[in-house]
Amino acid sequence: MTMFLPTPGDMKKRRVGLNLTQNELARLAGVSQPLIARIEAGDVDPRLSTLTKILDAFDATEKKRVMAGDIMHSPVIHTHSGSSVEEAVDIMENEGISQLPVIENGVPVGSISSDTVVRYMTESDTDKLSNMQVSDIMGSSFSTVPKDTVVSTISHLLEQSPAVLVMERGKVVGVVTQHDVMKLVHKK
């Protein structure tokens, strides 16, 4: 039986891919940070028991990783660029949400929010705004990510945007909001 042992480069690549610092990996594996640094540099060959602890720490970290596909909402409540602003507002009110992606043929083309509608209400009369098309006032599209994007990346994107759209094969398949990420605090 042939056993695959990772090279120092493999170890570092896996650690970085899991977004772990040397210090975090050392703590999870129950070894010292300088030992992790020496192993990654190729300065020391770890004992099999040490290597097993490190690989177990990698495995445990991977199992804890929550991905976009795990927390997304689907189907995505959305509007179309040719819909009236009134129709978009109705959707937001009925669904209890403050923003909507604008999607055409599964592809995000923009967004509309209650903030945008309110801003336009101060600039034009309400009747005129109600009959305008979403395309006349929509903003830029929400950020997009694949289903296997980790929550830490999504959290950073949500600092700049109210929602993140989850894509698969070039089409929107889900949406993640700040509320979805916050709910992870309660999961055990």
Low-confidence residues of the chain, pLDDT below 70?
1-3, 124, 186-188
176 three-state secondary structure: strand
Q: With contact defined as beta carbons under 8 Å apart, do 164 and 144 qualify?
A: yes
Task: Specify the pLDDT at position 151.
Answer: 85
What are the CB-based long-range contacts (under 8 Å, 24+) for 10-16? 11/39, 11/40, 11/54, 12/40, 14/58, 15/40, 15/58
- Residues 142-152: tens digit of each pLDDT: 999 999 888 88
Task: Specify the pLDDT at position 158.
Answer: 92
DSSP-assigned letter for residue 65: -
Task: Specify the pLDDT at position 120.
Answer: 87
Angstrom distance (rounded) from CA 122 to CA 53:
62
pTM above 0.95, yes or no: no
Report which residue type is found at 63: K
Residues 6+ apart with CB under 8 A from 110: 81, 101, 102, 134, 135, 138, 139, 140, 141
Of 143, 135, 151, the residue nearest 167 (C-alpha): 143
Angstrom distance (rounded) from CA 36 to CA 55:
12
What structural domains and CATH numbers belong to the chain? 8-64 (1.10.260.40), 69-186 (3.10.580.10)
